[in-house]
A and B are shown apart, each in its own frame.
Chain A
């Protein structure tokens, strides 16, 4: 069965410093992985997706993630944090069965950005 584990419930960084949000996955076959962002009282927005093409995936707003099969990881990074990056981030794996697209969400990482 597929699952994702987000290793940090909260991450705090200063504006202009790098961001690292960690995610490990478990899957019995090649997974489809996503990162979504949620700003307060808003829906979820897709940041990026991995679907077995390039292992380094670039997303919106300067974020990227690297799929590492040997480490079963899909960490989200950004070189320089901006105040507007403060939000909740979810690592997600697609469960995938015939004609459905069920997603399994991690418990989320709240990113705080200090000036």
Chain B
């Protein structure tokens, strides 16, 4: 069964360091999402790509966060510098072109900033 792959699963870093997360969506899925889930809260959209183009990055803290999907396939989310409040689960999801609301999520990357 096709899955969304994410790495690393866990990352511990000190504040002010740089962090990067990688996501490989399900093959053929044109839409890719990065969500952040803080403990006790629901997932919040950071950025949405349609192929290689950003569709929505209104909630992405652009002073420290960046995301790219250069060839319209896999994607990288970067945080520089990391802050204590960035500790969260970073979830990648993908979906087909036909919108049904059904997103396929990866297992997530848990970030702890010390």
**Real binding pair:** no
